[in-house]
Structure 1
Amino acid sequence: MRFADSFQKPGDRFLRDRYKHYEPEDLIAIAAGKPLEFEPGTEFAYCNTNYFIIGLLIKKVTGRSYRDEIRERVLEPIGLTRTTLPGDDPEIPEPHARGYMRIAGRTEDVTLMNPSEAGCAGEIISTTADLDRFLVALFGGELLGEAEFQQMTTPLPREMIRDLPMGIGYGLGLMKLQNDKNMDLWGHGAGIPGYATFAATTPDLSIRVQLSITLDADFGKEAEQAVIRGVNTAVCF
């Protein structure tokens, strides 16, 4: 059940509503109003709605927002000083690349938007250096215990996966990335109008890649393919 299929789409809707605030409960309700794609537990498809639900669970369990928990548990302990959770703030810390998107046959600058539409599924703004530091901390054992990390990197059976953009296996919030050398490469991709990103590493941290891509393209499959091409160019030499 995905709110993005009917809601988070480019075009006139984006230009009209780019600075609008969205409550996570309202976005979840859009997804909940749709029929199931498959019976729970029988298949897996990547879905941003799940992360919105996790954000509400964090607040229910801790009494604090997911932003506060991420800052205290992740950003501050490992020194991610250039990583922010902007909430409703449409501005991006300088310096930054500008994002573009094709809308009705025109190239539109879509750099600024209220990121509440992405919420805890993708509102974080970071740098390639901070992404690299995060991977080193995660795979180096600074953030999780061994049992938790093993759960995170144990992929679902491949036959369960129906849809996984840019990936061929999925654990808990980490995907195994498709690449031309069949390298054991783990990380996660992201997309928001105007931008596509990916951060990945081999488990031993010997090969790491962080990508930040701006495109003059439709938001969706074109961005996913651009990330896959970028990863292959970076690691499959």
Structure 2
Amino acid sequence: MRSMMVAVVLVLALVVGGCGDEPDALQRDVDAIAALGTTGVQARFVDAATGADRSRATGRTDTNAAEQVSTEGYFRIGSLTKTMVATVVLQLVGEGRLTLDDTVQQWIPDVVHGNGNDGSVITVRQLLQHTSGIHESPPEMTTADDYYRLRYQVRDPRETVASAMRHAPDFAPGAGWSYSNTGYVLSGMIIEQVTDRPWHDEVRTRILEPLGLRDTHWPGTTPTLPTPHAHGYQQFEADGPLIDVTELVDADASVGHISTTADVGAFYRNLLGGKLLRPEELAQMRTTVPVDGVTGMVWPGASYGLGLFSVPLTCGGTYWMHNGGQTGFLTNAGVTDDGSRSAVVSLSATLAVGEDVARSRGFAQLRAVNELVDHALCEK
């Protein structure tokens, strides 16, 4: 296994989209992520003010084939979906169809209850900001056997919520911060109650179609990815093998969509550029609270708004971003405060974090991704 990993790293030296013999800064950062053992990486930087649009990639689409990673490849965006869901909720707020202070109980009665959970005191804002206190259930896929057993399982949102309700809250609503996928599953359910339509249809008609994002899709129960795409690999345990986890059914309102670096960047530039929300709702989205725990370790100084992180730039100021980790894929999207510049990087392998988080390859992978985004947005 060790010799196989050495061979993979050597193959990763083959670069797609480089600039002559001397790679540019974006290519160097892509290569640095690959050198950690990531099978494939693609990244795109866009500066709308200058018209710059640069994409770089490295690695192979499949460890058993020679095809190189495409800069136009599709991937699972994971939690970047949360920003889309938050945007739809805030559009509904702007239309007067609900408020951020509405409670969960008002829209979906008798769903959040038991073991100290109480939907009558949890607000829509708290769901979107991860301040509801709802306990995050442990991930189901922690081993390769789990993946093979569960990869085609269709998850009912109410079952996801019921699983979380088996635990007491982590804290009283509004009294802390803790990342909660369940909070966004509930947000999707609220969208459906307000609009009488599936949450992903609202994302499509309110965001994807108006912006012309034709390469962004909600896959539903389809486990495969469109072509072209790289295979996704998951390292379930430190120093363990990379398992091909490309096929997966996992499309709820916390992680749902498939996209490309071009579409993802366009979404975030338009959002921060004021094209999707009125100033009042965009200001609410950008009103943040501090994060803590492992999240604070990965993004020092970060805070969280409604579906968006605010992260300090090394060159001064802040940028807005979201990370999306979904079995086999890892994505970061960052955009400047005015929406003019975006940097998106997608990895087709996620490395294990392990018990010693700060010393793990998975942690190093996350930090290298952050450095790419920071370097690109700070570029003179």
How does the TM-score come out when normalised to structure 2? Answer: 0.57
Give me the whole-angstrom Cα distance separating, in 1, the residues matched to 2:276 and 2:294: 25
Identity across aligned pairs (percent)? 32
Which among 361, 367, 377 is matched to residue 228 of structure 1? 367
What does the per-residue CA deviation read over 1:152-207, in whole Å, with 9 as the maximum and x for residues that have no partner?
Answer: 01111x3xx33463441001100013654454010111101111001111112344
Q: Distance in 2 between matches of 1:232 and 1:103?
A: 24
- In our comparison, the structure showing a higher alpha carbon Rg is 2
Q: How does 1:1-237 map to 2 (within 5 A)?
A: 1-103=134-236, 105-116=240-251, 119-156=252-289, 158=290, 161-163=291-293, 165=295, 166-167=298-299, 168-177=302-311, 180-181=314-315, 183-215=317-349, 217-218=351-352, 223=362, 225-236=364-375
Task: Name whichever of 141-150 and 200-209 sits farther off.
Answer: 200-209
- Which runs of no fewer than 5 residues in structure 2 stay unpaired? 1-133
Post-superposition shift, 1:69?
0.4
Alpha-carbon distance change, 47 to 181 in structure 1, aligned in 2, over 3 angstroms: farther
Q: Which moved more, 1:213-222 or 1:161-170?
A: 213-222
- State which drifts further: 206-215 or 82-91: 206-215
Query: Which residue identity does 1:9 align to in structure 2?
Result: T
Q: Distance in 1 between matches of 2:365 and 2:178?
A: 21
RMSD over aligned CA atoms reads 2.2
Distance 1:224 1:201 in 2: 22
Cα distance, 1:2 vs structure 2: 4.0
Q: How many residues align?
A: 232
The 3 A distance-change label for structure 1 pair 31 and 224 is farther
Moved more, 119-128 or 181-190: 181-190
Q: CA deviation at 1:103?
A: 4.0
- In structure 2, C-alpha distance between the alignment counterparts of 1:102 and 1:59, rounded to whole Å: 35
Q: Distance in 2 between matches of 1:65 and 1:223?
A: 35
CA separation of 1:225 and 1:73: change in aligned 2, threshold 3 A: farther
55-64 or 222-231, larger mean C-alpha shift: 222-231
Q: Secondary structure at 1:101's aligned position in 2?
A: strand
Partners of 1:83 and 1:90 lie apart in 2 by 15
Residue ranges of structure 1 left out of the alignment (5+ in a row): none
RCO comparison, higher one (Cα < 8 Å, 6+) = 2
